[in-house]
Structure 1
């Protein structure tokens, strides 16, 4: 949506897309704007899901590990992200250097419902959590 800001796109969304039940300004928005850092790998995972939902490409790239970050990213505008379910975690706490988050993300594309099931790896870079890579499941 050229010329439309991220906040314009989520102004009608009161609850954060990540599924915590909190309002977006009190949940993932401060991470998206850089006002706050993700304290855990799960928090970064949730904030990245929200970034996909609101179309925040800049945050997705910033929160990507520099060793695996793509040069650019174009989101598929035919996808509407609906729900995030955290399935499992391994480490990724406030005192950890690495972590793994397994999740299922529900989305709609061209009127059909789909689920993206991934086991994502995260690593701290200069004290901040970054998405390293992920393994997709069928």
Structure 2
């Protein structure tokens, strides 16, 4: 901030007189103050205008980037949806394989049960004549 003018050179003071020198100082101080106010208003208006322009640019850029972000999110969701669909298909295949394994296990159980019945039948058929023969000998 500029200091107000207080001193007037002696030669000028002698030429203007004491009242003229004080009037000149007052005039120069008022002109300085008026110029300063004008400059502050001018710079302030210019700053506000520039600030509004930059804010507008920033808002536009933010809007564009937000749009890009939403597009990227939508693409990511589509990719994830496709990936999950692929995983679901893989699980379906796994479930089919598990069902086949269960069927094969059931077949093995049926086969074991059938073989066990035949083995028991063969053992009984093999041993029964011996027991009948012994019973015939014992009870005769």
- State the TM-score, normalized to the length of structure 1: 0.15
Structure with bigger RCO (C-alpha 8 Å, 6+ apart):
1
Higher strand share: 1
Higher helix share: 2
- State the TM-score, normalized to the length of structure 2: 0.15
From the CA coordinates, give the structure whose radius of gyration is larger.
Answer: 2
